[in-house]
Amino acid sequence: MIIQVPPTVPVVPEQLDPSAVPLAVPEIVWSAVAPALVLMIGGILLLTVVSLVRKPLPSWFHATWTVATATAAICATVPLWQRVQDNGASSEMAGTVGLDGFSLFVTGVICVSVILAALLLEGYLRREDLVGPEWYVLMLLSASGGVVMASANDLIVLFLGLEILSVAVYVLAAMHSRRTSSQEAGLKYFVLGAFSSAFLLYGIALTYGATGSTNLAGIQTFLADNVLVDNGLLLAGLAFMLVGFGFKVAAVPFHMWAPDVYQGAPTPVSAYMAAGVKAAGFAGLLRVFVTTFGPTYREEWMPMVAALAVLSLVVGSVMAIIQTNVKRMLAYSSISHAGFILLGVAAASDAGTSAALFYLLVYTFMVAGSFGVVTLIGRKGDGRHSLEDYRGLSRARPGLALVFTVFLLAQSGIPLTGGFLAKFYVIGAIVDEGLYALAAVAMLTAVISAFLYLRVIVAMYFAGPAGAEEGSEEPAEFAGPPVRIPAAAGLALGLALVGTLALGIVPGPATEVTRDATAELTVGN
């Protein structure tokens, strides 16, 4: 194959052209990147403060600091959101950072996942004797990477955001120093993550070669103005980038790390990975594929994304059913959720994007809540995750069992929970595009996956004691040490519960917001 590059130098954003403005330093509008800055500075400050203070600070201090930082980041998005709604989207820092409703919404979702995970982490670290600020620092830094990724308007920035996000999470996954499975999870995540980032990078390089720009707006304009005679380079770039994003969002067949890593990683970290990291991954996917290549290359990438979506839906729910480890089961179910969100991506429409964003928000609450319960049931050692360990929970901890039931039912898509509307909007979006087959697959797998959530519920409420088939007149006894619910974890579960239910009962405001959170690519402001 002879690879041809456009013969003339194509559109390059002026700021990057060295001959035009030799020593131009782009104007830095700090306010535009305020949320990412808040998270990053919050993380670094926490590290500094802890190093400067002689006595070890109490565990609650780190968690409170983290929650406060993430809350501040959410607050920082509010005036920006107002600005975007009033004046429209813009891009800053020489067109590398986009400021639009989409990036701000995803920022909010990532911050919510940080808050929930930090609250869960507090009790977890005390229980496991691992108290230290590093966990929170890494989480805040990784979240800032996620925010950068979500607001990237340039492939370079996108890649940097992705790496900031990932490198911190590789470490977090391996942080439980006494669990060998945690280290295994860390290494697996690292090797495969770096491997697939390299694919993404290769794809970016090819795209750069084909279009002459790494700037998303530049690429979009270039493709709109030029018809490539030979688009092989660009298509290969798209395929490679999809591998990278597919890995981050755990789409089949790039999902294999997810069950192992979610299972092995410390449970609150799994919650953060499933909620926050995935949200950032989807943000990148949506921005690059739907917004940048949507208008011109939809026909080419849509079938690939749809195929990933269908595979994720089917493999995720089928594999989840045969699991006996609840944590691993949630990992597979999160793969099936990723399939649903990918359907929203595949719709490649405004409705699809809004549906995907709504799904991400609901999903953050549901999955963080579910992993939150799993954190508590795991008890000291973070090892009690088999279905057996949930038997009779309704007697030992009726409240916890009920909350978990709500999260599981929400994940299966029962009406009056956010999960129902999330699935509903996605299916509505793909039906609008005439993709009926995909809608049918989505509904069928939703039915299949209902069983797996049911299995856990049955174990909690109805199952007899382990291994007693006959003579099962004894009610199920909850095995193992009692489950303690630290205040912070209780707060996290409460927040997640409120979020899950509120989005199902009064979804109006959130729906409006997701509809306003459109992604736009602009050159300059």
Footprint of other proteins on 117-156 (CB under 8 A): 155-156
CB of 464 to other proteins, least distance (A): 5
| Structure tokens given for 366 | 């549901």
3-class SS at 323? Answer: coil
CB of 53 to other proteins, least distance (A): 26
DSSP string, 387-430: GGGGTTHHHH-HHHHHHHHHHHHHHHT-TTSHHHHHHHHHHHHH
Q: Are 92 and 525 in contact (CB under 8 A)?
A: yes
Any contact of residue 250 with other proteins (CB under 8 A)? no
CB of 472 to other proteins, least distance (A): 5
Which of 170, 359, 390, 407 lies at the binding interface for other proteins (CB under 8 A)? Answer: 170
Stretch that binds other proteins, among 66-74, 273-281, 313-321, 486-494 (CB under 8 A): 313-321
Any contact of residue 319 with other proteins (CB under 8 A)? yes
Stretch that binds other proteins, among 129-137, 278-286, 485-493, 502-510 (CB under 8 A): 502-510
Q: Are 312 and 339 in contact (CB under 8 A)?
A: yes
∠ CA 114-335-368, rounded to 5°:
25
CA distance 150 to 281: 8
CB atoms within 10 A of CB 295: 12
Q: Is the peptide bond before 509 cis (omega within 30 degrees of 0)?
A: no
Residues in CB range of 290: below 8 A, 6 or more apart: 345, 348, 352, 353, 519
Which one, 73 or 185, has the nearer CB to other proteins?
185
Total residues in contact with other proteins, by rule CB under 8 A: 113
Which of 39, 121, 219, 315 lies at the binding interface for other proteins (CB under 8 A)? Answer: 315
Give the amino acid at 259: P
Q: Print the binding letters for residues 459-498 with other proteins: x by CB under 8 A, - otherwise.
A: --xxxx----x--xxxxx----------------------
Residues 253-282 that bind other proteins (CB under 8 A): 253-254, 256-257, 259-261, 263-264
CB of 504 to other proteins, least distance (A): 9
List the one residue out of 424, 279, 240 whose CA is nearest residue 343.
424
Q: Which helix (H) or strand (E) holds 235?
A: helix 232-248
CA distance 151 to 146: 9
Instruction: Indicate the pairing of strand 97-99 with strand 90-92.
Output: antiparallel
Q: Are 339 and 316 in contact (CB under 8 A)?
A: yes
Provide, for the chain, the percentages of residues in helix, strand and coil under a 3-state DSSP scheme, each rounded to the nearest 5.
75, 0, 25
Residues 343-402 that bind other proteins (CB under 8 A): none
Which of 103, 323, 334, 364 lies at the binding interface for other proteins (CB under 8 A)? Answer: 323
Among left, alpha and beta (phi > 0; psi -120 to 50; other), residue 404 is alpha
Residues 424-453 that bind other proteins (CB under 8 A): 424-425, 428, 431, 443-444, 447-448, 450-451
Any contact of residue 410 with other proteins (CB under 8 A)? no
Q: Print the binding letters for residues 219-248 with other proteins: x by CB under 8 A, - otherwise.
A: ---------xxxxx--xx-xxx-xx--xx-
Any contact of residue 185 with other proteins (CB under 8 A)? yes
Q: Print the binding letters for residues 26-65 with other proteins: x by CB under 8 A, - otherwise.
A: ----------------------------------------
CB of 220 to other proteins, least distance (A): 16
Stretch that binds other proteins, among 44-52, 250-258, 272-280, 337-345 (CB under 8 A): 250-258
CB of 380 to other proteins, least distance (A): 19
CB of 505 to other proteins, least distance (A): 8
CB of 18 to other proteins, least distance (A): 5
Q: Are 242 and 342 in contact (CB under 8 A)?
A: no
Range list of H helices, 174-215: 180-211
Which one, 68 or 506, has the nearer CB to other proteins?
506
Helices H, strands E: what count in the chain?
20, 2
Q: Are 34 and 80 in contact (CB under 8 A)?
A: yes
Which one, 315 or 357, has the nearer CB to other proteins?
315
Q: Are 217 and 95 in contact (CB under 8 A)?
A: yes
Which one, 18 or 482, has the nearer CB to other proteins?
18
